[in-house]
Amino acid sequence: MDFSLSNEHLMVQKMVRDFAQKEVAPVIKEYDRKQEPIPFVLPRMGELGILGISFPVRYGGQGMDYVSLGLACEELEAVDTTMRVAMSVHVGLCAGTLFHWGTEAQKQEFLVPLAQGKKLGCGAFTEPGMGSDVTAMRAAAKRDGNQYILNGEKMWISLASKADYALITVKTDPNPKKPSEALSTFIVDLTSPGVTRGDIHGKLGVRAGSTGWINFQDVRVPAANRIGAEGEGFKITMSAFDRGRYTVASGATGLIRAALEASVKYAKERAAFGKPIAEHQLIQEKIARMAQDYEIARLLYLRAGWMQNEGKRCTREISFAKKFATEASFKAADDAIQVHGAYGFSDEFDVERYLRNARGAVIYEGSSEIQTLIQAGYALGQREDKPLRCEQPAYDAEEWQK
């Protein structure tokens, strides 16, 4: 059992950390206040290869493994959640699903430009009035020759107004034998006639990120853009969520670390009752909990990354990592504000932004309640990982570097 990072892992970690700390950290507060995305961030992430970090070189990626993806997400969210959100939807939901489930032709047409950072992708699953209950989707697609006609609306979609492509799951069978067999998944060009989209404003957190809605009105989608077979949409969506949740878990780990580092720095500088507050036991308790939770969250996501490298199904392990890390990050940010006192209530310090950003991750990509049900299902023997037609591709360094 080896817990050390390889030289390649350390290289990725340093590269992403340098980008986030040197280029984004100095300006993130300004854009968070304006509630506007930083214009250069996504192009720069594409230029550095971050948006294609965990895809084979032959598909335009960097040929790195899933642990590298987790390390990158940790470093990005240690500065701001908006960058990790982009990884979750572009890499985890959209490009990752194409890599796992797409045909060779689909990979060449869509995955290559996504991995190269020349195009942006998002995952469009949530609808108005439908969040956790995936089978309750109302958006539908009807077959018409060699095309599908798509109608409906998707809501709370990260990168909705920025993405070139959307991976979207909709209803294709109005009378299925099982609700889970009613759905199919497509890759949709968001410049197609009949697509309208916009941003949602007034969010509590992730204010420097794009979150919005997409409306489809008689949008014609080539049948060749269907991912998998008709009726496989539920399975494909669930596997996409696994990949997305992995990036959320690793990113939330970075937020815990950021809250810890900010609290340690402030506690050493701030004095009360004649000594630095770092010497007060109740402050030490909060810092100790942050340090402990960071180590636990990091081990959980690294285990899930290793399992993905081995080609093993890890829905249960990713659920553990996602639930623990997101809840711990919210608690760490809350404690960091308490350590900072009145200053923590002001955006003069970053910790108030950490708290606002952390709150969303407890909801999206499968709420804590959904993760609890998943974990209980495994513990009670009510849930098991059945073989999928598309298995997790194991990481092969030599093959992925070709």
Q: Is the pLDDT of residue 302 over 90?
A: yes
Q: Is the pLDDT of residue 389 over 70?
A: no
Task: State both tokens at 208.
Answer: 């420097």
- Residue 384 confidence (pLDDT): 81
Here the contacts of 345-354 (C-beta below 8 Å, separation 24 or greater) are: 347/29, 347/32, 347/33, 349/262, 349/266, 350/29, 350/258, 350/262, 351/259, 351/262, 351/263, 353/28, 353/29, 353/32, 353/80, 353/205, 354/255, 354/258, 354/259, 354/262, 354/329
Tell me which of 75, 232, 352, 365 is the catalytic residue. 365
Helix (H, G, I), strand (E, B) or coil at 226: strand
Tell me whether residue 365 is one of the annotated catalytic residues.
yes
pLDDT range class, residue 285, cuts 50, 70, 90:
very high
List, for residues 59-74, the tens digit of each pLDDT value: 999 999 999 999 999 9
Q: Is the pLDDT of residue 216 over 80?
A: yes
DSSP class of residue 54 equals T
Q: Is the pLDDT of residue 141 over 70?
A: yes
Q: For 208, how many CA atoms within 13 A lie in the half-sphere containing its CB? A: 24
The domain segmentation of the chain, as residue ranges, is 7-120, 122-231, 235-400
Q: Is the pLDDT of residue 80 over 70?
A: yes
Task: State both tokens at 347.
Answer: 């955006």
Task: State both tokens at 261.
Answer: 């580092």
Q: Do domains 7-120 and 235-400 have the same CATH topology?
A: no
Q: Is the pLDDT of residue 180 over 90?
A: no
Helix (H, G, I), strand (E, B) or coil at 177: coil
The answer for residues whose C-beta is within 8 angstroms of residue 386's C-beta and 6 or more apart is: none
For every residue of 347-391, DSSP letters joined together read TTSTHHHHHHHHHHHTTSSS-HHHHHHHHHHHHTTS---PPPSSP
Task: State both tokens at 84.
Answer: 């990790």
- Residue 319 confidence (pLDDT): 96
Q: Which fold has domain 7-120?
A: Butyryl-Coa Dehydrogenase, subunit A; domain 1 (1.10.540)
Beta bridge partner(s), residue 276: 271
Assigned CATH for 122-231: 2.40.110.10
Distance from the first to the final alpha carbon of the chain: 28
Percent with pLDDT over 90 in the chain: 90
Between strands 195-199 and 211-222, the pairing is antiparallel
For every residue of 261-286, DSSP letters joined together read HHHHHHHHH-EETTEEGGGSHHHHHH
Q: Work out the average pLDDT over 29-51.
A: 97
CA 372 to centroid of chain Cα atoms: 19
Buried residues in 283-312 as b, exposed as e (16+ CB within 10 A): beebbebbbebbebbbebbbbbbbbbbeee
Helix (H, G, I), strand (E, B) or coil at 29: helix
pLDDT range class, residue 388, cuts 50, 70, 90:
low
Domain 235-400 grouped into CATH 1.20.140.10:
yes
Q: How far apart are CA 1 and CA 4, in angstroms?
A: 9
Task: State both tokens at 195.
Answer: 């697509």
